[in-house]
Amino acid sequence: MISDHTPVTTLGVSDLQRARDFYEGTLGFAPGTEMMDQGITYRSGSGSFFVYLSEFAGSNKATAMMFELPDDAFDGTVDRLRSKGVTFTTFEAEGMEFTDGVASMGDGAFRSVWFEDPDGNILNLGTPMP
């Protein structure tokens, strides 16, 4: 069955070198397996994601990939991303409040930020849901 296998997030990009600069330089991922100059795999925790050339890069308007961080790592990670020029997106959502780009819900028990890669793929960092 499909449910026995680990999924791999895939993100379309229009310029592979620009994507590498962002995922390796800005976000700090180590490059993994490359596919004939058409894409590259990055490991993250016990999973992975694949960045590949696509004419449809950045066309998804929903969150494409989320990373769950422990509560004690969230603020430092957000600060490091800001120092590298990453800006966070805010939006209207019931029960969610934004302060300086950081969303909180449930009296601050859950915190999260959203940002885009150079092609507009929406990425999210969040603390575990209580």
Q: Where are the domains of the chain?
A: 2-126
- 2-126: CATH topology: 2,3-Dihydroxybiphenyl 1,2-Dioxygenase; domain 1 (3.10.180)
Tens digit of each residue's pLDDT (9 = 90 or more) over 75-110 = 999 999 999 999 999 998 888 899 999 999 877 678
What pLDDT sits at residue 9?
93
Tell me which amino acid residue 99 is: T
C-alpha closest to that of 66 among 1, 121, 5, 3: 121
What pLDDT sits at residue 39?
94
Does residue 1 have a pLDDT over 70? no
Torsion angle, alpha carbons of 56, 4, 128, 58, to 10: 0
What average pLDDT does the chain have? Answer: 92
Average pLDDT, integer, range 29-43 = 93
CB atoms inside a 10 Å sphere around CB 107: 7
What pLDDT sits at residue 89?
95
Does residue 48 have a pLDDT over 80? yes
What pLDDT sits at residue 107?
76
